[in-house]
């Protein structure tokens, strides 16, 4: 049974597909280690845990195989993600310094190697609110605008321009690299193409296409697919109901949220709201009011698209329209548009369209 503590101790068997990744890395290691890796896949499938394991393998002082010793000083530092040759680069709000952000990021990642972007944003909001209380002020905002800025990239370039006194590897993680600004990505191109000796960049991203092709072309790309039901059950240590696995979409990060009791009311509200769209005598207002309270509304709407896809009584066209509406709305909410208005607009639109069996595909092109 896999445990989070085993992953922090870099037990390859505890990392999803760990032995396969270890063998793949070993094959590279025997030839030539690439200077830039781009790992692409959904959240919660083990990209960060794998980066952690490979980084510790490279930095282990006693390592004569592909398994870190877990006892040397380098390994002890890596277990805390505090090794001086490991540079962590998470997306941050513009007002937060890199040093403050990395310190917070390190703390949360130690607690949960499957940390999701929404959980990270929640941690940053809590930190901001705590600081606001100390200053007796408040920004009044409930969302943050996160990015990896060109200023942060220039700081990394400055660090890499210094000599490496230990002559060991220097490893840079860009966590959620899809949040690099265009200017930041362009600033990285030269140093990624011609890095200092014994330097490796690891870009962890959800979507390949968001990153500029000029940066992608300089990296070796590894794809991390969703986890199987068996792999998720191994990580969670218990059986997973079919509906829960379907909504988790192969992500351990999402599975953890689905198992969180505080998440359950929003899933119930989602199901009730979808049900109300098919029944004119059901008022959707209470369910919309509950849904807008969720800090992960865009993710919940994407789960709603899955429920629509699996509905046994909707026609393929009704499913296509419903899924398109919810996924489009999830994107709009990520762009900080008003969720209450979006939900009501979707309610009226789907009620009308699902009532009429003669749909026109032209609606999707609007």
Query: Would you state the pLDDT for residue 364?
Result: 40
Whether the Cβ atoms of residue 172 and residue 200 lie closer than 8 Å to each other: yes
Whether the Cβ atoms of residue 84 and residue 116 lie closer than 8 Å to each other: no
Rounded Cα distance between 3 and 46, Å, is: 13
pLDDT tens digits, one per residue of 109-137 = 998 999 999 889 989 998 888 877 655 44
Residue, of 17 and 205, whose pLDDT is higher: 205
Rounded Cα distance between 87 and 139, Å, is: 30
**Owner of token pair 């393929």:** 316
Burial of 43 (0-12, 13-18, 19+ CB in 10 A): buried
Residue, of 130 and 93, whose pLDDT is higher: 93
Whether residue 80 has pLDDT greater than 50: yes
Query: Region 169-182: what's the mean pLDDT?
Result: 96
pLDDT band at 43 (very low <50, low <70, confident <90, very high): very high
Query: Region 59-83: what's the mean pLDDT?
Result: 84
Percent of the chain with pLDDT over 70: 89
Whether the Cβ atoms of residue 275 and residue 264 lie closer than 8 Å to each other: no
pLDDT tens digits, one per residue of 337-362 = 788 999 999 999 888 888 765 544 44
pLDDT band at 365 (very low <50, low <70, confident <90, very high): very low
pLDDT band at 278 (very low <50, low <70, confident <90, very high): confident
pLDDT band at 5 (very low <50, low <70, confident <90, very high): low
Query: Region 137-164: what's the mean pLDDT?
Result: 79
The chain-wide mean pLDDT, for the chain, equals 86
Query: Region 293-306: what's the mean pLDDT?
Result: 91
pLDDT band at 139 (very low <50, low <70, confident <90, very high): very low
- In whole angstroms, how far apart are CA 340 and each of 122, 285, 291? 20, 10, 9
Query: Would you state the pLDDT for residue 363?
Result: 39
Whether residue 174 has pLDDT greater than 80: yes
Rounded Cα distance between 67 and 83, Å, is: 18
**Six-digit token string for 192:** 């990624």
Give the long-range contacts of residues 143-147, CB within 8 A, separation 24 or more. Answer: 143/336, 144/93, 145/93, 145/94, 146/91, 146/92, 146/93, 146/117, 146/121, 146/179, 147/91, 147/92, 147/94, 147/179, 147/180, 147/181, 147/184
pLDDT band at 7 (very low <50, low <70, confident <90, very high): low
- Say how many C-beta atoms besides its own lie within 10 A of residue 274's C-beta: 18
- In whole angstroms, how far apart are CA 309 and each of 22, 252, 305, 358? 36, 21, 6, 19
Query: Would you state the pLDDT for residue 280?
Result: 72
- Say how many C-beta atoms besides its own lie within 10 A of residue 342's C-beta: 20
Q: Round the CA-based radius of gyration of the chain to a whole number and report it.
A: 22
Rounded Cα distance between 237 and 346, Å, is: 38
Query: What does the H/E/C string look like for the chain?
Result: CCCHHHHHCCCHHHCCCHHHHHHHHHHHHHHCCCCEEEEECCCCCCHHHHHHHHHHHHHCCCCCCCCCCCCCHHHHHHHCCCCCCEEEECCECCCCCHHHHHHHHHHHHHHCCCCCHHHHHHHHHHHHHHHHHHCCCCCCCCCCCCEECHHHHHHHHHHHHCCCCCCCCEEEEEECHHHECHHHHHHHHHHHHCCCCCEEEEEEECCCCCCCHHHHCCCEEEECCCCCHHHHHHHHCCCCCHHHHHHHCCCHHHHHHHHCHHHHHHHHHHHHHHHHHCCCCCCCHHHHHHHCCCCCHHHHHHHHHHHHHHCCCCCHHHHHHHHHHHHHHHHHHHCCCCHHHHHHHHHHHHHHHHHCCCCCHHHHHC
Contacts with 18 (C-beta within 8 Å, 6 or more apart), sequence order:
11, 12, 46, 50, 53
**Six-digit token string for 356:** 């009429």
pLDDT tens digits, one per residue of 315-338 = 888 899 899 999 999 888 877 678
pLDDT tens digits, one per residue of 217-239 = 999 999 999 999 999 998 888 99
């Amino acid at each position: 049974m896999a445990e989070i503590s085993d992953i922090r101790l870099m037990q390859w068997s505890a990392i999803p597909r760990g032995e396969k990744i270890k063998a793949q890395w070993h094959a590279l290691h025997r030839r030539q280690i690439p200077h830039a890796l781009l790992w692409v896949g959904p959240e919660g499938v083990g990209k960060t845990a794998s980066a952690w394991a490979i980084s510790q393998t490279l930095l282990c002082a006693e390592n004569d195989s592909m398994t870190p010793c877990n006892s040397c000083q380098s390994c002890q530092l890596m277990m805390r993600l505090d090794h001086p040759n490991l540079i962590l680069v998470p997306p941050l709000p513009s007002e937060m310094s890199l040093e403050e952000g990395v310190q917070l990021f390190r703390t949360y990642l130690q607690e949960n190697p499957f940390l999701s972007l929404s959980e990270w944003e929640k941690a940053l909001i809590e930190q901001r609110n705590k600081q606001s209380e100390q200053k007796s002020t408040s920004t009044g905002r409930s969302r943050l605008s996160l990015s990896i800025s060109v200023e942060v990239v220039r700081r990394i370039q400055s660090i890499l321009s210094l000599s490496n006194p230990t002559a060991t590897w220097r490893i840079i993680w860009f966590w959620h690299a899809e949040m690099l600004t265009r200017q930041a990505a362009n600033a990285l191109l030269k140093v990624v193409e011609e890095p200092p000796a014994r330097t490796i960049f690891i870009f962890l991203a959800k979507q390949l296409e968001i990153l500029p092709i000029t940066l992608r072309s300089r990296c070796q790309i590894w794809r991390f697919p969703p986890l199987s039901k068996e792999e998720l059950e191994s990580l969670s240590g218990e059986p997973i109901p079919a509906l829960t696995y379907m909504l988790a979409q192969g992500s351990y990060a999402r599975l953890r949220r689905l198992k969180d009791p505080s998440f359950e009311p929003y899933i119930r509200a989602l199901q009730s709201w979808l049900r109300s769209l098919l029944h004119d005598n059901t008022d959707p207002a209470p369910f919309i009011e509950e849904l807008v309270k969720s800090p992960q509304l865009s993710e919940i709407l994407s789960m709603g698209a899955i429920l629509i896809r699996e509905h046994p009584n909707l026609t393929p066209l009704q499913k296509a329209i419903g899924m398109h509406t919810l996924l489009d709305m999830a994107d709009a909410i990520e762009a900080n548009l008003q969720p209450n208005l979006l939900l009501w607009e979707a309610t009226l639109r789907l009620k009308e369209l699902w009532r009429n069996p003669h749909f026109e595909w032209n609606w999707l092109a609007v």
